[in-house]
């Protein structure tokens, strides 16, 4: 399998200029290092829509991105994720969890544990306690029985980054594989060894790298790129105005992206000629849609 980079959008809303900029950067990182480039549609969630996925792929193609294999759809790979949950369960590395989000937020936390980190409620229940919780009727989520509390990754833009690894969810109570599981399983299955994405996901990368290591996968190279903010300093969103390619036009979209990276290029091919990862802007790009 050839080494690859990828872009992995969730088709719950049309891509905005910030998402497209991240996609361009993922493509530039992959192509400038001789890697293949893949697109994966992360459509496990019930907010995923087929028409949005089609428009996302059209937008990526329209701005000139090319990929080396047909896009993969996570919804087609349920067996792949279940097999990994079964493997980890066979190794004694999972447990069933009956907690609601509210239970987790209200449970006493270990000192220094970050808000929302799993407090361990269902990790070491006796058989009787487990039976009692199972009787509540809520189908259990499956969590990883993690044997670390933190893990360190190396990021091309952020350097060494250490973040929390808790007993995170592998499969939700409704049976849907969790993002952290699916992304690790798919990156390995597709030969992805370079992960370029928005820096809102930097804090998820220690969990993912740890899970990948447990499964025997090589750790990918990470580059978490700055997000695009609106002029209130908040993450850019569709409600901010004209932010999609359909609204901005293809050429204007490309020139905005190129300008935000300090390039004079008007195509992604020309951006590739100018691409220097060391010179990438490290601060968020502030974009005020008209
Ligand atoms: N599907 C995720 C998103 O759209 C990105 C996943 C990833 O790049 O790891 O936010």
Per CATH, is 4-76+226-286 categorized as 3.40.50.150?
Answer: no
CB 24 within 8 A of CB 259: no
Pocket of ligand 1 contains residue 183 by CB under 6 Å: yes
> For residue 111, is pLDDT > 80?
no
CA–CA separation, 203 and 187 (whole Å): 18
Instruction: Measure 197 CA to ligand 1 centroid, in angstroms.
Output: 7
Distance, CA of 143 to chain centre:
18
Of the two residues 172 and 288, the one the predictor is more confident about is 172
- In sequence order, the 6+-apart residues with CB closer than 8 A to the CB of 182 are 42, 44, 74, 77, 81
pLDDT exceeds 90 at position 112? no
pLDDT band of residue 283 (cuts 50, 70, 90) is very high
Q: Is 230 in the pocket of ligand 1 (CB under 6 A)?
A: no
Each residue's pLDDT tens digit, 223-242: 999 999 999 999 998 888 88
Write out the two tokens for 87: 């493997």
Does the C-beta of 8 come closer than 6 Å to ligand 1?
yes
Residue of 19, 4, 97, 120 lying closest to 60 (CA atoms): 19
To the nearest whole number, what is the mean pLDDT of the chain? 94
Q: Are strands 141-144 and 169-171 parallel, antiparallel or unpaired?
A: antiparallel
The whole model's pTM is what?
0.95
Mean pLDDT of the region 66-90: 98
pLDDT of residue 113 exceeding 80, the answer is no
Q: How confident is the model at residue 22 (pLDDT cuts 50, 70, 90)?
A: very high
CA 26 to ligand 1 centroid distance, Å = 12
19, 55 in Cβ contact below 8 A? no
For CATH 3.90.800.10, the residue range(s) in the chain are: 79-171
**Ligand 1 in contact with 42 (CB < 6 A)?**
yes
Cα 10 to middle of ligand 1, angstroms: 6
Q: How would residue 101 be classed by pLDDT, with cut points 50, 70 and 90?
A: confident
Q: For position 239, what pLDDT does the model report?
A: 87
For the chain, give the number of residues.
290
> Residue 134's pLDDT band (boundaries 50, 70, 90)?
confident
pLDDT above 80 (res 109): no
State mean pLDDT over 22-31.
98
Report the pLDDT averaged over residues 146-162.
96
On the question of pLDDT at 137 being above 90, the answer is: no
CA of 183 to the centre of ligand 1 (A): 8
Ligand 1 atom closest to the Cα of residue 208 is: 9
CATH 3.40.50.620, the chain: domain bounds = 4-76+226-286
Starting at the earlier edge strand, list the strands of the sheet with 159-164.
72-73, 36-41, 4-7, 192-198, 221-225, 150-155, 159-164
Which CATH code, of 3.40.50.1100, 3.90.800.10, 3.40.50.2300, 3.40.50.800, is assigned to 79-171?
A: 3.90.800.10
Report the range out of 95-109, 126-140, 270-284 with the highest average pLDDT. Answer: 270-284
Segment 263-277 shows an average pLDDT of: 95
To test the pocket of ligand 1, the residue of 178, 189, 197 to mutate (highest count of ligand atoms within 8 Å of its CB) is 197
């Amino acid at each position: 399998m050839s080494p690859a980079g990828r872009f992995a959008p969730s088709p719950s809303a049309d891509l905005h200029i910030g998402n497209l900029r991240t996609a361009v950067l993922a493509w530039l990182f992959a192509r400038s290092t001789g890697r293949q480039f893949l697109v994966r549609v992360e459509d496990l969630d019930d907010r995923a829509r087929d028409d949005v996925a089609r428009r996302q792929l059209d937008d990526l193609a329209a701005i000139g991105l090319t990929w080396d294999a047909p896009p993969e759809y996570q919804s087609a790979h349920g067996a792949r994720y279940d097999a990994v949950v079964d493997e980890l369960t066979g190794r004694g590395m999972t447990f069933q969890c009956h907690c609601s989000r509210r239970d987790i937020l209200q449970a006493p936390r270990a000192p220094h544990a970050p808000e929302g980190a799993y407090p361990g409620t269902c990790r070491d229940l006796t058989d009787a306690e487990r039976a009692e919780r199972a009787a509540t009727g809520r189908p259990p989520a499956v969590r990883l029985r993690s044997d670390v509390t933190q893990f360190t990754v190396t990021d091309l833009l952020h350097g060494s980054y250490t973040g929390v690894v808790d007993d995170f969810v592998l499969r939700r109570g409704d049976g849907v594989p969790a993002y952290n599981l699916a992304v690790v399983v798919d990156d390995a299955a597709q030969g992805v060894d370079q992960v370029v994405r928005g820096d809102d996901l930097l804090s998820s990368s220690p969990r993912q790298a740890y899970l990948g290591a447990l499964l025997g996968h090589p750790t990918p190279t990470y580059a978490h790129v700055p997000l695009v903010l609106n002029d209130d300093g908040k993450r850019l969103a569709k409600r901010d105005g004209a932010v999609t390619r359909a609204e901005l036009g293809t050429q204007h979209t490309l020139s905005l992206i190129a300008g935000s990276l300090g390039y004079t290029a008007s195509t992604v091919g020309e951006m590739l000629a100018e691409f220097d990862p060391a010179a990438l802007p490290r601060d968020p790009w502030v974009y005020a849609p008209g």
